[in-house]
Structure formats: C-alpha cells, structure tokens
Amino acid sequence: MNMVKQVLLAVLAVLALPGQAAVVGTVVPAAPLTAARVADQPAWRAYLARSRALMAADKAAFKAERPAGPAPAVPASSAGAKSMPLNRPAAWYASAEARHIAEVIVSFQTPAGGWSKNTARDGALRQPGQPYAAGHTGAPDDVPWNWIGTFDNDATTTEMRFLARVAQAAPDAAGPYRASFQRGLQYIFDAQYPNGGWPQVYPLQGGYHDAITYNDDAMVDIVKLLSDVAKGNDNFAFVPADLREKAAQAVQRAIDCILSSQVRIDGRLTAWAQQYDPLSLQPAGARNFEPDALSSAESSGLLMFLMQIEPPTPQVQAAVDAGVAWLRATALHDVAWRHTPQGSVLVAQAGAPPLWPRYISLASGQPVFGDRDRTLHDDVREISAERRDGYAWYVTSGQKVLAVYPRWKQQQH
C-alpha cells in the first residue's frame, strides 16, 4: 500500500471510525549521552568532558554569588523572545530602550556563554545570586539545574541577534555587546556535537535534552545565525575573520548532519524526525507525547533552510526533492483542524488548504498521537483532552515549502 493511501485511510478512521481506534505503541525516551556510551570514541569523550567542566563552572560561579541574606527573586516566566524584537527600524536599536534590553541580556549570560529560556529581557538587570532561569529556586546543589542554557524556544540565538543589532546601531557603546556576542558564539561552537548536531540544552542536562534537536527549528535557528556570521551579513561584520571561518566550518558540519539524518524507508529518502540520538543518528523520542516519528513541521523547517543554500550540492538537491515528495504524499486535503468549545477536532472542509499530521509513524506510515502516559494512538480523539487541545497535532508548515519549491527547482536548471 502506498503512503498516500495509508494516510487517507488514517484520516477516514479519525473522521468516521472511532470504534477502530487503538493504542499502537509507546514513546521511548531518548537515551542521555554518557561516559559509558562514548568510551571508545575520543572526540565524544572530549566533548562530554568539556560539557561537564562547563556545567561545574556554571554551578560554582552561581554558588559563589549567593548572598548571605535573602536571595534575589526568581525571574518570572514569560515569552522571552518577544521582549527582544528583531524587526524594529535600525535606528531603534540605538535607543535607550534597546540598550537597556541589551544590558539585561549581557547580565543574564551564563559563565558558559549561553542563555536560558522564557525569561523577559526588558526588565531589571540580573542581580548576583539571582537564578538564570525562570522558575529556578535554591542553590544548584540542592535543586535541579534545568535549562542553563538552551536553544529551546528561540533562546540564545535571539539574544545574540539582538546584541548584534544594538552593537551595530550604537558603536560608541558596542564593546560589551560585541564581547557578549562572541562569548555566545564560542558557546555555540562548544555545544556542537562532533557529528555536526546540537543538543537542546548545553552544558548537557541529560535525558531527551541531549538528543540532536530539530524540534521547533532549534537547530535551524543556530545554523541560520552561523551562516549570517560566516558571510558577515547584516550586523555581523564586527566578528573577527577567524570566528567567521569557524562559523562557516560549523555550518558545513551541520549540513552534513542534516543530510545524514534524513530518514530512509525501504531505501528511499523521506523526511526528518524531531530529535535524534546523537551517536547513532536514529530518531528518538522526547517528551512523553513526542515519538520517534517523522515530523512534518520540523521537516518543513529543514527543507526551507536547505533551499537557501547557494549553490546547492547534488546531495542537498536530492534531499530537498525527496522531502518535498514526502510532503506531497502525506498532505491531507479537504479537512481542517478546528479548536471548538468541545475541544480540538479534525473536520471535513471542502477546498481547505493542505494540512499535515504532526507525526507519521516510521513503521506504518500513518499519523500517530502521543499522550502524557507515553501511549501512542492512531486517533487524536483517543488522547486526553489536555494533550489534544494543548499541542499542534496538525500543522500547515508544508504549505510554504510547496509554494517555494517550484521556483527553487527551476533555478537548478
């Protein structure tokens, strides 16, 4: 049975055959990167040792800052990236408002060089002993040390792009911002795996955070930033030539990783999963409801990036052609994902634009849906209401890819 028929049958099951729904599997979490797993691989041993040393230094610096009296307030959780707008007129980045945001960004940079997530950058400067991350309490030796720092939710790359804009607009005060940016660049270099991928959290936190992470375009955001740095684009002309060259090399390793991790099924290239085991480059699970399946949203982000490479190699062209073919084969037509007072539902809608299930099973080629208890289902209505309404089970990401692809393809001839 071809992939188109499999997906159409799955949609019919969702729309019309609730009695046939079933638990079809279990989400297996990604394995952490450990000393035992890298014992016979020198490059990976060195990577793990560096990560542990930076983690220890981060914790020691934070502990040394702790005041004798009450600790500073924990930062409130917020949509941190929104407090660092990247779409303002160039002159705005020389304003007092923008420079204050840049100073807050510098104050929250970890000793390792990264940033945490979900923390507003337009409030007060970080105080000595204040946690780097929203929701973090206590000292690092008696509470979990989570998200210190990360590329999740646009973290680190957004801070760095904002710093570069302010440094360009306010050259008289650019020194601290450029220095912070370059520390962030070294952080990205340190965090890159020997095979070109990046974890979600660095220094390594363990669990699924150690997996190579395409989820929510985390790795794509890193590679786009490094590509701009390597080319001296926009506001990055201040970056020294040796660092621009390192950025170019990191980009090439990342592209090699992306091409190597495109999943083959029955010998044919298809698409990508959200996350991968860093050593085997096999798809891996993440959160309890995120399986080791092909992911249409993340595949679309990777395809958009690959189509920006100039000139594309034959390998890049083959990857794009195969990924687009997969998107065309898995697109759903005449259906829409609706959020109603009774919950989110997939409904018939004649003429609706293409829609994609977020996850397609590697084994069956059919949509799958995860729940908090790690169960995988073939009917989105069978998962808990909290997960059904709280996650993007159907996405429109592929529409942009299919719109751009014909022009990109024509340019290759």
Residue 273 has phi, psi (to 5 degrees) of -90, 175
Is 268 a known active-site residue? no
Q: Calculate Rg over the CA atoms of the chain.
A: 22
From the candidates 50, 66, 153, 253, give the one annotated as an active-site residue.
153
Closest to 151 in 3D by CA, of 99, 92, 93, 216 = 216
* CA separation for the pair 135, 114 (Å, rounded): 17
- The catalytic residue among 253, 287, 372, 374 is 287
Q: What are the residue ranges of helices labelled H in 126-264?
A: 157-169, 174-191, 218-231, 241-261
Kindly tell me the sign of the dihedral angle through the C-alpha atoms of 257, 259, 264, 270.
positive
Active site residue 381: no
Q: How far apart are CA 218 and CA 196, in angstroms?
A: 14
Nearest by Cα to 185 from 147, 227, 234 = 227
DSSP SS3 for 264: strand
Distance CA 162, CA 171 (A): 14
Judging by DSSP bridges, how do beta strands 275-276 and 335-340 pair with one another? unpaired
Residue 175 preceded by cis peptide, ω within 30: no
H/E element, 265: strand 264-265
Instruction: Give the 3-state secondary structure of residue 356.
Output: strand
How far is Cα 108 from Cα 120, in angstroms, rounded to an integer?
10
Please, are residues 357 and 301 in contact by the beta-carbon 8 Å criterion?
no
Which residues does the annotation mark as catalytic?
153, 287
